[in-house]
Structure 1
Amino acid sequence: MSRLVRDSALSSVSAGFVATLVAFTSTIALVFQAARLLGATPDQLSSWVLALGVGMGVGSIGLSLWLRAPVLVTWSTPGAAVIATASTGVSLAEATGAFLVCGLLMWLCGATRVFERMMDRIPVALASALLAGILARFALQSFSAASGEPLLVITMLVAYLLGKRWMPRYAVIFVLGVGMAVAGVRGQLDASQLNLNLASPVFVMPAFSWHAVVGMGLPLFIVTMASQAVPGISALRVAGYPSPVSPLMSWSGVLTLVLAPFGGYTFNLAAITAAIVLSPHAHPEPARRYTAAVYAGVFYILMALLGGAVAGLLAAFPQALVISVAGLALLGTIANGLANALHDVRYREAAIITFLVTLSGVTLLGIGSAFWGLVAGALTLFVEHFRHPTEPTETP
């Protein structure tokens, strides 16, 4: 604890808060929709928030302190979309069984080191391009939000530029403060539905059926690993943290297995919100940025305990404010990712294809653009560097 206090800074606390704010506000509505389609009651919805927040908090705090690296755990956003689309004819108990199957497969990926061996074969240029493509999609939304809220977004952009010029370590929290002030003056902060009701866990006895496992459990596993595990590991490696891949996957599976009966449907490494705690905005010293992920974990748990109050809290902030804060906080990471992706001329074309396919947001076979961007980049590398067997080779 004493080392955590010594390594902390106000910027790491603010980065942790922003990461938590973005994580909850950007996709919690999708999670609620998935739970409702499975027939979850209001108490079960509150339990889902509790389980997800506690899992994310405990995972982020424990792994970050263990590795001394900013490891951020989050729920599977594409997984929530899979649950919503595959919920027809599936009960909440059967869905819980499918979640457990997904968690078991994730644990096996870590225990057998299959996923780590795959990640070791991905060049840094492609990993950087993949990360930049994912984050650029998110950052574009912050600028497009100016169409509906020009005053709010433009003011926050000016605040970001001034903050970068005069107090770069606290630029993001300055932007958040300015955005809240502008929204408050314009009457856009609505706290009328806030309450302090604490959440309580609700256990759902899992049931196993082949159609739920095949139609929900397996797709949930595939999209989570392809759309979040790959960019999550890439984000850590691009930022210079050679974290062990297999233990991270194993612990993600363990968290899912433990908390799935309470609504923690799937956990994995964060990519977009991870970039916030991996950024120099979180702490100027890379060795101390783990504190931002620790504080994010604390905020996760606090949000989880409130449970039913989360929806009202999220409704208090204008969507344009949340999107703009996140997008502006990611600009430096996007720039560094593109610089790393295009630095080596041998991988430049594969990297730009990876970036563009990922940025496109294309979805095929229910799998998101992060996976297909990596496939496109790998295919480009294979075509460019494949040596035909009959081609003469140089002798040493």
Structure 2
Amino acid sequence: MTATAVPESTAEGAEGGSGAGGLWRPVTAGVIAAFVGFASSFAVVLEGLTKVGASHAQAASGLMALCVAMGLCAIFLSLRSRLPISVAWSTPGAALLAGSAVPHGGFPVAVGAFLITAVLIVVSGLWRPLGRWVSAIPAPLANAMLAGILLPLCLAPAQAVRSDPAIGLAVVVTWAVVGSVRKLYAVPAAVVVAVVLIATTTHIAADSLGPMWPHPVAVAPHFTLAAAVGIALPLYVVTMASQNIPGIAVLGANGYHPRPGPLFGWTGAFSLASAPLGGHAVNLAAITAALCAGDEAGPDRRGRYRAAVAAGCVHILLGLAASAAVALVGAAPPHLIEAVAGLALLGALAGALSGAMADPGQREAAAVTVVVTVSGVTFFGVSGAFWGLLAGGALYGVRHWQSQRATGGEPAAGTAQQAAPDPGVPEQDRS
């Protein structure tokens, strides 16, 4: 993998990056990034896997497979390139699954869709035209589809307050108070409060925690056209548009310029390895990428790859806690876990809505995409996310054609196609 190294002029002197202090800061940043990412969105991942038919054992296996895959992938890519390549699970993809129904044929059909998504990501890295086609999806439409996926989940905090005011308010108020001081720790703080409430108000049988090391559960995939179109294709689009492409942008903003293709290909390969064990997709991180590639990881820019390596090691260790995480979520009141997941996705929803409605000339098409996606309409077993993108894309095409005719072939102001979704859409990495 060829990468553009950080220029020597941008690196700090030997004093800033040598010794225990020079190692401590990137390692600390990586550990924080991993814990924040995991705590912020593991509930979303478990919710998504469960909604497409995974049992408790399969969900624990999927969570473990994702943690190990993204940990190994981050370690491999960072050591190979000496760049801080952070890897996360696809939180928007998990949100897509959480808004879906169990496919006809159960979890094996979902696993088949995960494999198709992984193959598409690999092909995006190896075959440049496919990556360019994804990048060419109008940003308002990609953001609008993501917003439509996230919106129902983000209603959960309000529903939790309505169904159980004391517990719901405790979680929401914690999130709001901590977020006003340090936004990055708002969701992890809400998770801590939720765990305390579950531990003090719910009986968790010791045998329900299972073994410390979760058992991998291999699932034989089953492939259907409906799942390929309704799960695999939208999962691929949101993973590429809302995580992989912004992940490259975050690295570039911090002065690191790796070739995108090999990174996409390797994340797809690790996704391919995790899919038979229940993992939906891993990809480049954005939020944790900023932690590992920015000033938080120390003044020595050449040594910040250690932050991503440390985060990868912690992710692997967190995979060992997958059984306990599944047991905790299973014992909790449903609205409480959904509320935590909804809070974790509010930032992503805000960014997606902002990106969807930023261009006045494309707002109508974006609104159609949101509405159709949220409606949950299903035709031929294909979920609303695909139909939302298709409906919005059709209207976008008509409006674009009309504007070209009105201006003699030149697009009117405000209707120019944007090449890629807004990198500001957060990844809640969440993980």
TM-score, normalized by the shorter chain, greater than 0.5: yes
- Deviations, residues 47-81 of structure 1 (Å, cap 9, x unaligned): 66654542344345556786746542359767897
* Aligned-pair CA distance for 1:367: 2.9
Asked if the contact 1:100–1:257 (Cα under 8 Å) also holds between the matched residues in 2, the reply is: yes
- The 5-angstrom pairing of residues 198-213 of structure 1 reads 198-199=213-214
- Deviations, residues 157-204 of structure 1 (Å, cap 9, x unaligned): 22222223334342223222333334444x136253224442455779
Match of 1:235 in 2: 242
- The 5-angstrom pairing of residues 381-392 of structure 1 reads 381-387=396-402
State the AA in 1 paired with 2:89: V
Match of 1:374 in 2: 389
Match of 1:301 in 2: 316
CA RMSD, Structure 1 to Structure 2 (Å)? 4.7
Change (3 A) 1:200 1:7: closer
Match of 1:353 in 2: 368
State the AA in 1 paired with 2:377: V
Change (3 A) 1:171 1:85: same
* Aligned-pair CA distance for 1:383: 0.9
Structure 1 unmatched runs, 5+: 37-41, 207-211
3-state secondary structure, aligned to 2:281: strand
Asked if the contact 2:70–2:282 (Cα under 8 Å) also holds between the matched residues in 1, the reply is: no
* Aligned-pair CA distance for 1:139: 0.8
Does residue 12 (structure 1) correspond to residue 33 (structure 2)? The answer is yes
Match of 2:88 in 1: 72
Match of 1:173 in 2: 188
Asked if the contact 1:15–1:276 (Cα under 8 Å) also holds between the matched residues in 2, the reply is: no
**Aligned partners of 1:134 and 1:50: how far apart in 2?**
24
**Aligned partners of 1:296 and 1:189: how far apart in 2?**
33
Match of 1:85 in 2: 104
Change (3 A) 1:227 1:294: farther
Structure 2 unmatched runs, 5+: 1-21, 253-257, 298-303, 411-431
Does residue 226 (structure 1) correspond to residue 233 (structure 2)? The answer is yes
**Aligned partners of 2:369 and 2:296: how far apart in 1?**
30
Bigger mean CA offset, 231-240 vs 100-109: 100-109
**Aligned partners of 2:30 and 2:216: how far apart in 1?**
34
Asked if the contact 2:33–2:311 (Cα under 8 Å) also holds between the matched residues in 1, the reply is: no
Identity value in percent: 30
Match of 2:131 in 1: 116
* Aligned-pair CA distance for 1:96: 8.8
Match of 1:158 in 2: 173
**Aligned partners of 1:22 and 1:346: how far apart in 2?**
37
Match of 1:39 in 2: none
TM-score if structure 1 supplies the norm length?
A: 0.71
Asked if the contact 1:60–1:71 (Cα under 8 Å) also holds between the matched residues in 2, the reply is: yes
- Deviations, residues 120-151 of structure 1 (Å, cap 9, x unaligned): 22222223223222222221123223333222
* Aligned-pair CA distance for 1:384: 0.8
3-state secondary structure, aligned to 1:232: helix
3-state secondary structure, aligned to 2:386: helix
Select 1:2's aligned residue among 4, 7, 23: 23
Paired residues, what number? 369
- Deviations, residues 7-35 of structure 1 (Å, cap 9, x unaligned): 7178634421224522443134356x457
State the AA in 2 paired with 1:73: W
Asked if the contact 1:17–1:296 (Cα under 8 Å) also holds between the matched residues in 2, the reply is: no
Asked if the contact 1:106–1:221 (Cα under 8 Å) also holds between the matched residues in 2, the reply is: no
* Aligned-pair CA distance for 1:344: 1.8
Match of 1:143 in 2: 158
Asked if the contact 2:369–2:392 (Cα under 8 Å) also holds between the matched residues in 1, the reply is: yes
Bigger mean CA offset, 136-145 vs 195-204: 195-204
- Deviations, residues 298-323 of structure 1 (Å, cap 9, x unaligned): 56533543565554343344433322
Asked if the contact 1:116–1:245 (Cα under 8 Å) also holds between the matched residues in 2, the reply is: no
3-state secondary structure, aligned to 2:242: helix
Bigger mean CA offset, 220-229 vs 149-158: 220-229
Bigger mean CA offset, 54-63 vs 283-292: 283-292
TM-score if structure 2 supplies the norm length?
A: 0.66
Bigger mean CA offset, 382-391 vs 325-334: 382-391
Match of 1:268 in 2: 281
**Aligned partners of 1:79 and 1:394: how far apart in 2?**
41
**Aligned partners of 2:373 and 2:395: how far apart in 1?**
14
3-state secondary structure, aligned to 1:176: helix
